Structure 1
Amino acid sequence: MKKWLAILSVFLLASCVPDTEKTPLSFYFWRTSFQLSQTEKDYLQELDVRKLYVRYCDVALKNGEAIPVASVVFNESPENIDIVPVVYIKNEVFLQNSDTKDLAAKIMDYIGQINRKNNIQINEVQFDCDWSLKSKDHYFQFIEEAKKLQPNLSATIRLHQVKYSKKTGVPAVQHGVLMYYNMGTIDVGDQNSIYDQNIAHRYIQSFSQYPLPLDIALPIFSWGVHIRKNQVTNLIGGMRLKDMQNDHFDKLSDHKFQVTEDFMYEGRYLAKGDIIKIEEPSAKQLKEMVADLRKSIKNKPKEIILYDLNEQNLTEYETDVYQTVSYW
């Protein structure tokens, strides 16, 4: 019955919204061990997901040298799904490394090693870098060198890089992925740093002027902002409002909770009096994001990419929510 109601709601949505059609859904995979649970496989099949953007590694500096960090290990072979390697490159790499040709060769070779070991064929590589005004020349040179080795490149694009594109520049890739999340500052206040419509509207008017074709990345992740003595101490990934429904927490507001006694939460020490602020996008907000973006993006995106794939994130939303955000 639940599935039939979901199908009916999607049908009604499609029939009531003119000039919309389904856009393919994809996911980012951001864990270091590639192995899908049965629930994850079921969701991918039900949502007809045919592509995963898999973080192959980070690239950071060690003793002045750019090296791969936290590389992915494939504990099972991807089946019936395209894999796009994603490499997150810290901005520090381009602030200190000017040999972009050598860096591009090493990164592409590293991607090739992982692919050969796991018998993976690819058609695209994506780079994720929050470049700055001081690093953009080296980053853009790196892109040009990488294109000689893999012509089909994409890049993640932050909101500020769209609004201030004349200053920040535009990478010469086939297309960009607009990261429609992590909009605010992580602090002790009431603002949700993952998504805030008021903040989004400061940038959204510039989307139609951006010269690069944009796909859209939307958030389905969450975290708890751990606050002690009015200072943010760390983030607790995956924490949600439902985790606050026990005797360890007293509700202070809709998204803030106070720890009632010292205890360990999944290996983390929480002290009596600490504050946890939950930041998570609701199903209503996901639909709100898409409604705003439909009005603002110049060209229909070819993909909606959800960040990120894991069972806890997937099961937080009804299937019809995923279907709804895919209609454009």
Structure 2
Amino acid sequence: MKKIFYISFILLVFLSCTSNIEKVEKAFYYWKSENSAFNENEKQVLDTLKVKKVYLKFFEVKYDETLGIIPFSKTKFNKYSWYDDSNKQELIVIPTVFIKNEVFINGSKVQIDTLVNNVNHLVKKYFEERFEGYPNLTEIQIDCDWTLKSKENYFYFLESFGNKSKLPISCTLRLYPYKYRTKMGIPPVKKVTLMCYNLIQPFDDKNKNSILDTNELKSYLSVVDKYPVHLDVALPLFSWGHLYRYDTFKKFINLNKQELESMSIKKSKLWYDVVKDTVIKDFFYRKGDKIKFENIDSNLIHETISLLKKEVSFDKEITVTFFHLDDKQLEKFNYETITSYYTSFSK
């Protein structure tokens, strides 16, 4: 009897850790406010990987004490140069709007009602003007790092925006509200995208990779019940550096590992010391500067996918979105490697 029980228990554990995902829709985020089009390398990424969905940031929204709730950081898309005519019929563009949490902390119900109307108007206006010939709008995604303090107003916005737009609304979901769903509530949307990156505040732990740390991720995934809204997932394919001068944080920097190693020596797993004055991309690095370089490699992504499949209950069809479509950031990942990330979810 004990042996039968033991075998049954092992079988149950095995089945609970096996992915039931049958279909993965490939997607990318595109988050370049200064660009007017995908460049040729980025188009090639989409074509080669057969990615048919892009979550494209249209604009951001912030709260100003004088002006109130206002849009900013609009992506400068050009009507005729986003994608080739032969392919644009197949590319699904999902307008994505990032709204700062302060908007829902400081905004009144009247201001949020106005925000609903303004976001709906701007999204549809920009889409009609810039994306003629593309498939019609099928979804709008709202991105917000909402908190307990902003929850009531944020959920009110989501519900009102869905009613106003007459379109399926999705939103991003950070790991804290995923785990503490009883306290944080369930957003009133059709589906959510679980954001599995930027897990730690950049300056909270100088010895951890703030972009993605699997131990940190695992601590948020220990939830027995399936999330009550359809769950998609987003993973990082980017790196960045934190520049310190005189032991004081100066700025975030965007440079690759080759550029970093050309002017510095590695002191520990994440830290480098600049050993010679150097100018890279019009910025002057001074001898004595310290750089924390946070990088994403293939092993870390596969480890994360295995963890997600083991700990999270997904539906049979999900969208896997990588952040983000940037040819410079994607240089170190070949097409076969990125394809393996998508397919790993359903293996």
Match of 2:107 in 1: 97
1:258–1:276 CA contact under 8 A, matched in 2: yes
Counterpart in the other structure of 1:55: 57
CA distance in 1, matches of 2:268, 2:106: 45
Q: For the Cα contact (< 8 Å) 2:21–2:318, is it kept in 1?
A: no
Structure 1, residues 184-210: CA drift from partner, whole Å, max 9, x if none? Answer: 131372210001111111111127532
Show the counterpart of 2:275.
260
Q: In structure 2, what residue type is equivalent to 1:222?
A: S
Match for 1:251: what amino acid? Answer: K
Matched, 1:68 2:90: no
Please give the secondary structure, in 1, of the residue aligned with 2:187: coil
Shift of 1:214: 1.0
| Separation in 2, partners of 1:18, 1:221 | 26
Q: Which of 70, 80, 96 does residue 86 from structure 1 map onto?
A: 96
What residue identity is the alignment partner of 2:322? L
Query: What per-residue deviation string (whole Å, max 9, x for no partner) do you get for residues 156-201 of structure 1?
Result: 0001111111111111100000000001131372210001111111
The answer to whether residue 14 in structure 2 is matched with residue 25 in structure 1 is no
| Matched residue, 2:5 | none
2:324 aligned to which of 283, 299, 308: 308
The match for 2:170 is: 154
TM, length-normalised to structure 2: 0.84
Q: CA deviation at 1:21?
A: 4.6
Instruction: Give the aligned partner of residue 231 of structure 2.
Output: 214
> What secondary structure, in the 3-state scheme, does the structure 1 residue paired with 2:219 have?
coil
Taking the aligned partners of 1:228 and 1:74, their CA distance within structure 2 comes to 36
Question: Residue 271 of structure 1 aligns with which residue?
Answer: 286
- The letter of the residue matching 1:243 is E
Choose from 255, 270, 291 the match for 2:306: 291
Q: State the match for 1:8 in structure 2.
A: none
2: CA distance, partners of 1:170 / 1:37: 38
Once residues 111 and 258 of structure 1 are traced to their aligned partners in structure 2, the CA distance between those partners, rounded to angstroms, is 45
Moved more, 181-190 or 96-105: 181-190
CA distance in 1, matches of 2:284, 2:200: 26
Q: Which residue of 2 aligns with 1:46?
A: 48
- Show the counterpart of 1:124: 139
> What TM-score do you get using the length of structure 1 for normalisation?
0.89
2:187 matched to which residue of 1?
Answer: 171
Render the CA deviation track for 1:134-162: whole Å, top value 9, x for unaligned.
Answer: 11111110011101122300000001111
Label 1:19 to 1:64 Cα distance change in 2 as closer, same or farther (>3 A). Answer: closer
Preserved CA contact (<8 Å) 1:263 1:269? yes
Q: Distance in 2 between matches of 1:177 and 1:226?
A: 31
Aligned counterpart for 2:252 among listed residues 222, 228, 235: 235
* Compared CA separation, residues 56 and 18, structure 1 to 2 (3 A): closer
Does residue 195 (structure 1) correspond to residue 195 (structure 2)? The answer is: no
Change in 2 beyond 3 A, CA 1:168/1:18: closer
The structure whose Rg is larger is 2
CA 220–207 in structure 1, closer or farther in 2 if over 3 Å, else same: farther
Per-residue deviation at 1:57?
0.4
Q: How far is 1:230 from its partner?
A: 2.7
Retained in 1: the 8 A contact 2:19–2:309? no
Q: 8 Å contact 2:273–2:290 — kept in the other structure? A: yes
Alignment correspondent of 2:14: none
Matching residue's letter, 2:74: S
- Kindly indicate whether the alpha-carbon contact (under 8 Å) linking 1:162 and 1:207 is maintained by their aligned counterparts in 2: no
Alignment deviations for residues 283-303 of structure 1 (CA, whole Å, 9 cap, x no partner): 111111111111122124511
Structure 2: where are the runs of 5+ without partners? 1-17
Contact 1:220–1:313, Cα closer than 8 Å, also in 2: yes
Deviation at 1:101, TM superposition (A): 1.9
The aligned amino acid for 1:72 is T
**Larger mean Cα displacement after TM superposition, 142-151 or 23-32:** 142-151
Query: In 2, Cα distance between the equivalents of 1:19 and 1:133?
Result: 32
Instruction: From the superposition, tell whether residues 18 and 197 of structure 1 become closer, same or farther in structure 2 (CA, over 3 Å).
Output: closer
Distance in structure 2 (CA, Å) of the matches to 1:180 and 1:168: 18
Amino acid at match of 1:89: I
SS in 2 for 1:61: strand
Q: Kindly provide the CA deviation profile for residues 49-75 of structure 1, in whole angstroms up to 9, marking residues without a partner as x.
A: 001000000001232411110111222
Work out whether residues 64 and 96 of structure 1, in 8 Å CA contact, stay in contact via their aligned partners in 2. no
Query: Structure 1 CA distance, aligned partners of 2:283 and 2:341?
Result: 35
How far off its partner does 1:18 sit? 8.7
Counterpart code for 2:26? L
Count of aligned positions? 310
Tell me how far apart the structure 2 counterparts of residues 207 and 117 of structure 1 sit (CA, whole Å).
Answer: 46
Deviation at 1:20, TM superposition (A): 6.2
Query: Does the 8 Å CA contact 1:22/1:326 hold for their aligned counterparts?
Result: no
